[in-house]
Structure 1
Amino acid sequence: MTSPTRRDFLATSAAVPLADLPVAPPPRPAGPLPFEPVRIPAWVEETIGAGYTLSGMDTAARTEAARQGVTLSEVNFVDPFFAYYDSKLLRRRSPHVPPGRLEADLAEYKRLGVRVLGVYPPTLQGEVYELHPDWRRVSTDTTDIPTIDLKKYPHGGMLCPLGPYGDFFVDVLAEIVTRFPDVAAFSFDGLHHGGGCYCRHCRENYRRDSGAAIPKADLSDAAFRRYQKWADSRLESLVERMQRRLKGINPDIALVTWTTNAGRFGHFLSVPRNMPARLNLLFDAPDQELWLDETNRGNTIVPAFGVAYAWAVTNHRVAFSEPYLMSHGNPYGKDSFPAHEIERRMLLCVAHGCRPSIAVAQPKRLQAGLYQAMDAVQKRKPWLTRTRPEKWAALLMSDDTKTFYGRSAGRVEERYLANVFGTFRACVEEHLPTAVVNDWNLSGEGLAGYAVLVLPNAACLDDRQADAVRQYVANGGGLVASLDASLFDGHGDPRPNFALADVFGCDYRGIPEQPGALPGAKEELDENFARALPPDYWEKRRGVFDSKLVAGSFLDRGKLAEYVGTDPVTFKGPAVRVRPRPGAEVVATFGAKGTPGASPAVVVNRFGRGRVVYLAAGFDAAYYLYPYPYQRLVVADAIRWAAGGVPQPVTVQAPMCVHATTVRQRTVAGERLVVHLFNDLNSTAGHAHPTDDVPLREEAIPVAGIRVGFPLPNSVRSVTWEPGGRALEMGHDGGLAWVTVPRLDVHGMVVAELGPPGG
């Protein structure tokens, strides 16, 4: 059989709540957001896993899915062609859904203990498209209303959610909730503005709000960048109104819906962006599509980062991630898909903070393997709810930088994302406790508790964010930044110098000439730079250089001394020229081949009570694009040095293939630390042509001898290896209390029960 896709059916699964455990309100994002994040219902917090495709199953299959732990599943109420019930707003009722069918499905779900996830495709509805031409999205700068052959394409085209259709959409949802009170949540496929709209309503509203016309779609134009933020805020306003309306009818209703951030690498390439990252704060629980095919960098660090980012954009509340079970992306299919790979993909989600959702209906040959993977997730349920990252390092993924500095779908990976991916890779392989954070987390209390903040080429920071970072460092926080960090404002307009130049301890001087040579005479910044970026700006920042570490610095020790020492070493990647300020120290240099000492590559500075490392050479990007092992060590040692001696909450000694993430969990009895260990070893990795290689793992290669250490003194009362409850004995060595993991196959957890300090 051909299994349905999630575009056909939508669902999620949940688990039984912990008795009498109150739900804490979600943390308020720092900075002046235009809305309050939602307070999610208790049942969403307790929901684990997912089970899409139940709406297409018969009673026996639904019963088995419920037995496997599915407690929230999709029911379609509106599709692109029809409504499935007698609506007063949508007159075309589906001839394919007989009277009573919807009511019968709802009754069966209720009998099985499965909550109803109502489905409505938000911007595609043929009846509305036909009857309201002025509600259609206009994708280009024209007053012509788009038309489509509705006989050939009865679903119509995209509708604009930023105008009257958005309110009509909310009205339909309210009608569904009122008429069918058993609906527990809603899911939407495509809740985005498509990068903007030129319809009459958007033109009138933008002129009213800004006094200007909507400019042509060009992210090199500052006016369009400001319009994009306006479109983002209009979409946020729609979802905020939706939440108020629906929760006014049923306070426990939730938006458990698809997001267009991360998971699918292609979503990162949506430039201009389809939706702002902070829109996820208005969802009770976003769900991402996790694609590990070749077009989505499936055999790289990117899928793991995608999961971590999906959790981050909720402020580390609840997020789902659905790993797609396809062998390759084009053509899509499950040809020769190993059942073992299902468990690998689902437990990758668990390890990086998301609850794995999954399409339950699979080909017969994969069905048993799927249920086995779902069972593996359910066994881990006691340690997956009410968690937050254990703070140490915060890694910024800047949505504004991706859009307003990246500017091009074809270039954003090299211009910006490579810096983030390379840093994340280094942190994973060095087992540094690292949480992904967002633009809005930079100010207020968003950085409280973190020992070090990492800004990998975070070019776009507004003045408020820059001031917050400056204060964070002055108060003792560590900082690692690279390349153009803070060289642009929040709208992507260039500054003549870093906003954080005083913190970095150096000033911006321009970009190296190519190929690999540094300008010898021109010391001052090009006067035109502050006005607009030259067309070849980014291209001139890449080259092949020699780099050299300075003897006696924190980089001249350990493996770096072994791998590099003070000999010149090849560096291929982006770089900028800087002038160190008095008091700053250069600990690495780079230059054209044969002249490695021509320009500072790594500058360290003390600012207030904090430590700062600035990377003028993009070792972070290079570790993703053109990696050498020494680059990982430079990035990791910079983070450790900037942390200023603040001990890691957990130290993990394991091979680099093992991902380690640490979360703090609230329980009825108190708190615990949960250290997730995920074995990413692929016994056939790298054997195929790298462009089209994907992870299709057939076996687990166990890893033994992993050690996990907790700093002394600590409040750890007992440690177990889960699932299974095997007690682990602690031994003391080097100021840490160590436990040894007996064996890691795919995923396991070191669970440390905490008591009062010293208890």
Structure 2
Amino acid sequence: MTCCLRLLAFAVFAAGIVAPTEAQESIWGPPLPRRPFDVEPFRPILPPRWVQETIGVGYTLSGMDAQGRAEAAGHGVTISEVGFVDPFYAYYDSKLLRRRSPHVPLGRLEKDLAEYERLGVRVLAVYPPCLQAEAYEAHPEWRRIDRNTTEIPSVDMKAHPYGGMLCLLGPYGDFFIEVLAEILTMYPAVDAFSFDGLHYGGVCYCKPCRDAHRRDAGAEIPDVNMDDPAFRRYQHWADRRMEDLVRRMQTRLKAIKPDAALVTWTTNAGRWGHFLSIPRNMPSRMNLLLDAPDQELWLDETNRGATLAPALACAYIWATTNHRVAFSEPYLMSHGNPYGKDSFPPHEILRRMMLALTYGVAPSIAVSQPRPLQQGVYDALDEVRKRKPWLTLKSPEPWAAILLSDDTRTLYGRSPGLVEERYLAGVLGAFRAAVESHRPFAVVNDWNLNPADLAKYKVLILPNAACLDDAQAAAIEGFVRAGGGLVASLDASLFDEHGGPRDRFALADVLGVEHRGVVDPPGGPSQPLDVNFARAVGPDYWEKRKGVFDFRPAPGSFLDVPAMRRLLGDGPVTYKGTAVKVEVKDPTAQVAGLLRPKDAPNAPETPAVVARSHGKGRVVYLAAGFDAAYYLYPYPYQRLVLTQAIDHVAAEPPPVAVEAPMCVHATVMRQSQDGAERLIVHLFNDLDTTARHARPDDDVPLREEVVPIHDLRITFAPRHRIARIHEEPAGADLPCSPTPGGTTVTVPRLDVHTMIVAELAP
């Protein structure tokens, strides 16, 4: 047994004999609903108060001189990184990692820590966990094996001195935790840890993983194949192993220092490629075990920078924390091919940081920049700091919830090349419609589909949310029966939590329809449901649902409104996208819209939109994927279909109504702080004065100037007792006008971002 392993065994043994203290127990929140392979109740971490109140996350101070660090702190940076371990060396005298960096002189860490303390900057200790040359070379059994073989990989350590990937799901994960514990014990000034790559890479076939999977799942780890039910089950198993690593890490570190935190990178949203990571590298639920995840926010052409994807990324990463604390770092690049900052406008820094905080996350930033951008970073940090009193300890004001399902993305989407069209397009289309119509909403996750969380909302939107388990379906049914509104599309609930197809919707009794197969392209017959559907779904399942149709709203339905008639007149309109064939089983249901294949006048019409009541609630089911279409192949009428559906099922109007151009993002949050209750409306101007003139697939937002928007109207619903309304950070009171819809104020001018704060009377 090596010295490292001896120390590790003792440390793990010592940790195991310490009884949990009351303080350790208090770090965990209430348990969440059970997921596959949970062996104990999953409880989120409770972030320390200092994390909840942090907004000034500034990276790169470790590479700056004393003057640069002082300037950064003066502009509001309150936490930054300090390296302790890199892929080659440790930067301190470790008893676990013996290779000490020749590039970090003795006393350097102590000097940096003392300087951070003088500046009031908290220490974020860095360790990139999946690459560590000494561990890789000394312990071949810790190496990750990414193919279905027992052969341990090996690399030329001279050509690649950092080694290769290590498996966090086995003994190396325990060793990694002990290195962190050693750092925190030796350097109690460390406040938090950050890791570049805290994930399992999608699959591992090392011996510890094989043995554990055989024990827990009773089977061998299968080949990587998302169409294989066994591999989809493996994804859940590996997710639980990854979560357990972070749970043990939190328990170990907080036993040493209770307010130590994990403020680290996540791989769930900020880069479009993270959405395309299938098999997934980490479950979205793991973010609840981090005190605050931080995401890279890339707005280059390869990451859908000119679309709504960055806004959704910010809304989603905040949602994965149950709307507690998350950070988002806008990368300052002109383009992604090649990467660079050439001609990057300083004004764009402010735009990206204000977009992040509009959707609930605090913008982090790399502070050290080339000379043309340095002042722009400082100016943007100053603007964030001005807004701090209204950025912390808040949550979305609940009205509508849009589900972004990690299970559906991975286990139904199944392919990096197809998941955008199969699933993500539906979420982005629903998100776009809500943004442009200024309906207040929050993004929610798979685990939020439980009675307690759903009870907060008036409307639940399930854009092609195919993968639901029985408990989730039951919670949704109870939500609607009690008076909630539901808008669901396409295959919602047609698959289980492992991505296995059902022979009918789990929500069939709520939707009032039965799945009757797929709709062939125009002119072709609709096919009955294949008997093998319940066993396997081939790639042609999705292909058969594509087509071009004529759509018409039914006269007298909730879609038959003046705005729709102005767009459509009396004739049908083109719908290009996904559709499924359904049989309406509820005789009281209203078919509010119909489809017919284009250029097939004799073909029968099929239901496209079905509305019904269920208990005290209302339901709209979209057999045509208007949500996905509004992202992939949009027409303005599709926004009306979606917003009319949302309004139709809502039991009461939104808490806040915003009258503004569609380019304005408006989000509504509630802040409970120091005994005060307030509603905060964020307004963000997304206009680009170049009008997106570049070729769309290579366009990148590089905004240089502002076109102000004037005279926006905001109405707070009558149920709110308002004492005062003011605009921040300008600090100006806004005159209130009583109207039939509530209390209305006019915002005289919106440049990039402002907040309208309504102080609520006790």
**Normalising by the residue count of structure 1, what TM-score does the alignment of the two structures yield?**
0.95
Alignment of 1:366-405 (within 5 A): 366-405=373-412
Letter in 2 for 1:586: V
**1-side partners of 2:297 and 2:523: how far apart?**
41
- Aligned partner of 2:657 in structure 1 is 651
8 Å CA contact retained: 2:32, 2:43: no
Q: How much identity, in percent, do the aligned residues show?
A: 64
1:450 aligned to 2:452? no
1:517 CA displacement: 3.0
Matched, 1:483 2:490: yes
Task: Give, as a single letter, the amino acid of the residue that structure 1 aligns with 2:223.
Answer: K
Q: Does 1:555 align with 2:562?
A: no
The verdict on how the C-alpha distance between 1:743 and 1:27 changes in structure 2, with shifts beyond 3 A counting, is farther
Give the drift of 1:449.
Answer: 1.5
Alignment of 1:467-546 (within 5 A): 467-514=474-521, 516-519=522-525, 522=527, 524-546=528-550
Are residues 686 and 517 of structure 1, via their aligned partners in 2, closer, same or farther at CA, if it must alter by over 3 Å? Answer: farther
- The one-letter amino acid paired with 2:552 is K
SS in 1 for 2:378: helix
- Structure 1 contact 73–114 (Cα < 8 Å) conserved: yes
1:590 partnered with 2:595:
yes
**Does 1:120 pair with 2:127?**
yes
Which residue of the partner structure matches residue 728 of structure 1?
Answer: 734
User: Counterpart in 2 of 1:63?
Assistant: 70
Other-structure match for 2:309: 302
Q: After superposition, what is the alpha-carbon deviation per residue over 1:612-637, rounded to whole angstroms, capped at 9, x for unaligned?
A: 00000000000000000000110111
Equivalent residue, structure 2, for 1:695: 701
Q: CA deviation at 1:25?
A: 8.7
Tell me how far 1:736 sits from its aligned partner. 1.7
- Specify the SS of the correspondent of 1:229: helix
Q: Distance in 2 between matches of 1:534 and 1:152?
A: 43
- Pairwise CA distance, 1:534: 2.6
Q: How does 1:59-138 map to 2 (within 5 A)?
A: 59-138=66-145
Contact 2:715/2:741, CA 8 A, preserved across alignment = no
Is 1:41 equivalent to 2:48 in the alignment? yes
Residues 26 and 600 (structure 1), Cα distance of their counterparts in 2 relative to 1, 3 Å cut: farther
Q: CA deviation at 1:712?
A: 1.5
SS at match of 1:318: coil
Could you report, residue by residue, the CA deviation over 1:385-407 in whole angstroms, capped at 9, with x for unpaired residues? 00000000000000000000000
Decide which of 44, 49, 54 is 2:61's aligned counterpart. 54
Structure 2 CA distance for aligned equivalents of residues 573 and 445 of structure 1: 35
Distance in 1 separating the partners of 2:592 and 2:695:
38
Q: Which residue of 2 aligns with 1:667?
A: 673
Residue 406 and residue 613 in structure 1: after superposition, are their counterparts in 2 closer, same or farther (change >3 A)?
Answer: same
Cα deviation for residue 566 of structure 1 reads 4.2
Partners in 1 of 2:331 and 2:517 — Cα distance? 44
**Counterpart amino acid of residue 578 in structure 1:** V
Distance 2:612 2:650 in 1: 13
| 1:66 aligned partner, one-letter code | A
Residue number among 726, 734, 757 corresponding to 1:751 in the alignment: 757
Q: Report the alpha carbon displacement of residue 79 of structure 1 after superposing the two structures with TM.
A: 0.2
State the AA in 2 paired with 1:193: Y
CA shift in 2, pair 1:426/1:27, >3 Å = farther
Tell me, what secondary structure is at the counterpart of 2:595? strand
- Letter aligned with residue 347 of structure 2: H
SS at match of 1:309: helix
Q: Distance in 1 between matches of 2:612 and 2:553?
A: 16
Q: Deviations over 1:244-300 (max 9, x none)?
A: 000000000000000001111110000000000000000000000000000000000
Counterpart position of 2:578: 574
Residue number among 188, 191, 210 corresponding to 2:217 in the alignment = 210
Indicate the residue corresponding to 2:154 in structure 1. 147
2:654 is matched by which residue type in structure 1?
Answer: Q
Q: Following the alignment from structure 2 to structure 1, what is the Cα–Cα distance between the partners of residues 719 and 200?
A: 52
Q: How many residues align?
A: 729
**CA distance in structure 2 between the partners assigned to 1:30 and 1:719 by the alignment:** 37
Q: Which residue number in structure 1 is paired with residue 236 of structure 2?
A: 229
User: 1:559 deviation in Å?
Assistant: 1.3
| Cα deviation digits, residues 652-681 of structure 1 (max 9, x gap) | 000000000000001214110000000001
Which residue is equivalent to 1:708?
A: 714
Which residue type is aligned with residue 588 of structure 2?
G
* Secondary structure class of the residue paired with 1:603: strand
Alpha-carbon distance in 1 for matches of 2:686, 2:734: 23
Does the 8 Å contact 1:406/1:416 carry over to 2? yes
Inter-partner Cα distance in structure 1 for 2:27 and 2:393 = 11
Change (3 A) 1:697 1:653: same
The answer on whether the counterparts of 2:122 and 2:191 sit within 8 Å (CA) in structure 1 is yes
- What CA RMSD, in Å, does the superposition of the two structures yield over aligned residues? 1.2
Secondary structure of 2:452's counterpart equals coil
In 2, Cα distance between equivalents of 1:735 and 1:658: 21
Q: Which moved more, 1:525-534 or 1:622-631?
A: 525-534
Query: Which residue does the alignment assign to 1:7?
Result: none
Distance 1:213 1:30 in 2: 29
Contact 1:30 1:445 in 2 (8 A): no
Q: In the aligned structure 2, how far is the partner of 1:31 from the partner of 1:609?
A: 25
Q: Structure 2 CA distance, aligned partners of 1:527 and 1:184? A: 58
Aligned-partner Cα distance in 2 for 1:431–1:25: 37
Distance in 1 separating the partners of 2:29 and 2:441: 19
SS in 2 for 1:741: strand
- How far off is 1:28 after superposition? 3.9
Aligned to 2:471, the other structure's residue is in SS state helix
**Alignment equivalent of 2:34, drawn from 29, 32, 51:** 32
The separation in 2 between residues aligned to 1:424 and 1:407, in whole angstroms, is: 22
Q: Which amino acid aligns with 2:568?
A: V
Q: Which amino acid aligns with 1:721?
A: E
Q: Is the 8 A contact 1:556 1:566 kept in 2?
A: no
Q: Counterpart of 2:577 in structure 1: which amino acid?
A: G
Contact persistence 1:476–1:608 (CA under 8 A): yes
- 1:196 aligns with 203
Secondary structure of the structure 2 residue equivalent to 1:748: strand
Q: Deviations over 1:283-341 (max 9, x none)?
A: 00000000000000000011000000010000000000000000001111001100000
- For residues 105-158 of structure 1, the C-alpha deviation after alignment (integer angstroms, 9 at most, x for no partner) is 111111111110000001100000000001000001011111111111110111
Counterpart residue identity of residue 585, structure 1: Q
CA separation in 2, counterparts of 1:337 and 1:708? 34
The answer as to 2:282 corresponding to 1:269 is no
Match of 2:473 among 458, 466, 477: 466
The code of the aligned residue for 2:666 comes to: A
Partner of 2:22: none
Tell me the secondary structure at the aligned position of residue 540 of structure 2: coil
Tell me if structure 2 keeps the 8 A contact 1:479–1:612. Answer: yes
Q: Which runs of 4+ in 1 moved over 6 A?
A: 24-27
Q: CA deviation at 1:713?
A: 4.4
CA distance in 2, matches of 1:50, 1:558: 48
Residues 520 and 546 in structure 2, CA contact (< 8 A), matched pair in contact too? no
Q: Secondary structure at the match of 1:408?
A: coil
The residue that corresponds to 2:607 in the other structure is 600
User: Does structure 2 conserve the Cα–Cα contact (< 8 Å) formed by 1:392 and 1:451?
Assistant: yes
Check whether the contact 1:326–1:334 (CA below 8 A) recurs between aligned residues: yes
Name the residue aligned to 2:7. Answer: none
Structure 1: tracts of 5 or more residues without a match: 1-23
- Structure 1 residues 642, 25: CA separation in 2 closer, same or farther (over 3 Å shift)? farther
In 1, Cα distance between the equivalents of 2:513 and 2:590?
Answer: 10
- The whole-number CA distance in structure 2 between the counterparts of 1:377 and 1:370 is 11
